[in-house]
A and B are shown apart, each in its own frame.
Chain A
Amino acid sequence: MLRFLGRRLVAMVFVLFSISVLSFLIFFATPGVDPASRIAGRNADQATLRAVRKDFGLDRPLPVQYGLMMKKLFITRDLTSFVNRGAKVIPQVTEAAPVTLSLVLGAAVIWVVFSIGMGLVAAVFRGTPVDAAVMIVGLIGISMPVFWLGEVVNLLTQSRFHDTFLFSWVPPLGYTPFTQSPFGWFKSLIFPWLTLSVLYIGIYARVLRSALVDAQEEDYVRTARAKGLTERRVMLRHALRTSLVAFVSLFGLDFGALVGGGALLTEVVFGLHGVGKLTFDSLQNLDLPVILATVMYAAFFIVLANALVDLVYALLDPRVRHA
Chain B
Amino acid sequence: MSRVGKFAILGALVVLAVSAGTTGAARQDHRGGTLKLLAKAAGGTLDPQVNYTLQYWQLYQAAYDGLLAFTKAGGEAAFTVVPDLAESLPQPTNGGKTWVFKLRKGIKFSNGQPVTVNDVVASLRRIFKVKSPTSGGFYSGIVGAKACLAKPAGCTLKGGVSADAKKNTVTINLVAPDPELKYKLAVPHATILPANSPTSDAGTKPLPGTGAYYFASYNPNKQLVMKRNPYFKQWSKAAQPAGYPDQITQSFGLTVEAQITAIENGQADWTLEAPPADRLNEMGTKYASQTHVETLTAFWYAPMNTNLAPFNNVKARQAVNFAIDRNALVKIFGGPKLAAPSCQVLPPGFPGHVDYCPYTKNPGATWSAPDVAKAKQLVKASGTAGQKVAVVSQDDEVNKAVAVYLQSVLNQIGYKASVKPMSANLFFTYAQNTKNKVQINVQQWYQDYPAASDFLNILFGCDSFHPGSDSSINIAGFCDKKIDAQMKHALRTALEDEPAANKEWAKIDKQVTDAAPMATLFTPKHIDFVSKRVGNFTFSKQFYWLVSQSWVQ
Contacts and interface: CB of A to CB of B under 8 A. Distances in A.
Interface of A: 30-34, 36-38, 40-49, 51-52, 55, 80-81, 83-87, 92, 95-96, 154, 158-159, 162, 172-174, 271, 273, 277-278, 281, 284-286
A96 B221 CA distance: 9
B52 interface: yes
Contacts of B428: 38, 42
Interface stretch (B196-204, B288-296, B351-359, B511-519): B196-204
Interface in B209-233: 220-222
B382 to A, nearest CB: 29
Contacts of A34: 429, 470
Nearest to A172: B262
25 contacts: A30-B426, A32-B422, A32-B470, A41-B52, A41-B132, A41-B133, A44-B471, A45-B140, A45-B471, A48-B132, A55-B200, A84-B42, A85-B50, A85-B203, A158-B257, A159-B261, A172-B258, A172-B265, A173-B254, A271-B254, A277-B253, A284-B425, A285-B423, A285-B425, A286-B426
Interface string B131-149: 1111111001000000001
A158 B426 contact: no
Q: How large is the interface on B (under 10, 10 to 19, 20 to 34, 35 or more residues)?
A: 35 or more
B471 A49 contact: yes
A197 to B, nearest CB: 22
Contacts of B204: 84-87
B34 interface: no
Nearest to B128: A48
B149 A45 contact: yes
A97 to B, nearest CB: 12
A269 to B, nearest CB: 8
A173 B422 CA distance: 27
Nearest to B255: A271
Given A47-B136, A83-B425, A87-B203, A40 B41 contact: no
A12 B416 CA distance: 49
B489 interface: no
Given A41-B50, A86-B205, A172-B267, A281 B41 contact: yes
Residue among A32, A40, A47, A271 facing the most chain B CB atoms (10 A cut-off): A32
B150 interface: yes
B436 interface: yes
A83 B133 CA distance: 14
Top 3 closest pairs, chain A to chain B, by CB = A86-B203, A45-B136, A41-B133
Contact of A55 (B131, B135, B254): B131
B473 A43 contact: yes
Given A36-B470, A37-B471, A173-B254, A47 B149 contact: yes
B111 interface: no
Contacts of B61: none
Contacts of B52: 41-42
Contacts of B425: 38, 83, 284-286
A207 B6 CA distance: 69
A173 B221 contact: no
Given A37-B471, A85-B45, 15 more contacts: A31-B436, A32-B422, A37-B429, A43-B458, A46-B136, A47-B149, A48-B133, A51-B149, A51-B152, A158-B261, A172-B258, A173-B255, A173-B258, A173-B261, A284-B425
A49 B254 CA distance: 33
B458 to A, nearest CB: 7
B221 A85 contact: no
Interface of B: 41-42, 44-45, 47, 50, 52, 131-137, 140, 149-150, 152, 200-205, 220-222, 253-255, 257-258, 261-262, 265, 267, 422-430, 432-433, 436, 458, 464, 466, 469-471, 473
B135 A271 contact: no
Residue among B41, B133, B201 facing the most chain A CB atoms (10 A cut-off): B133
Contacts of B205: 86
A81 B547 CA distance: 28
Contacts of A81: 220
A176 B429 CA distance: 37
B38 to A, nearest CB: 10
B499 to A, nearest CB: 28
Given A32-B433, A85-B44, A85-B45, A52 B131 contact: yes
Nearest to A33: B426
Given A158-B261, A281-B41, A44 B426 contact: no
Contact of A48 (B135, B220, B261, B262): B135
Contacts of A278: 221
A80 B134 CA distance: 23
Contacts of B135: 45, 48
A83 B44 contact: yes
B350 to A, nearest CB: 19
Given A47-B150, A49-B470, A174 B50 contact: no
A307 B133 CA distance: 48
B62 to A, nearest CB: 21
B429 A38 contact: yes
A273 B201 CA distance: 27
A66 to B, nearest CB: 21
Contacts of A154: 257
A260 B255 CA distance: 22
Nearest to B153: A51
A40 B50 CA distance: 8
A228 B149 CA distance: 91
A96 B428 CA distance: 29
A40 B131 contact: yes
Contacts of A47: 136, 149-150
A272 to B, nearest CB: 9
A55 B261 CA distance: 42
Given A40-B131, A84-B44, A86-B205, A48 B267 contact: no
A49 B422 CA distance: 23
Residue among A38, A43, A49, A174 facing the most chain B CB atoms (10 A cut-off): A43
Contacts of A80: 203
A92 B221 contact: yes
Contacts of B137: 43-45
A6 to B, nearest CB: 39
Residue among A42, A81, A273 facing the most chain B CB atoms (10 A cut-off): A42
A172 B200 CA distance: 39
A43 B423 contact: no
Nearest to A155: B257
Nearest to B438: A32
A304 to B, nearest CB: 25
Contacts of A277: 253
B259 to A, nearest CB: 9
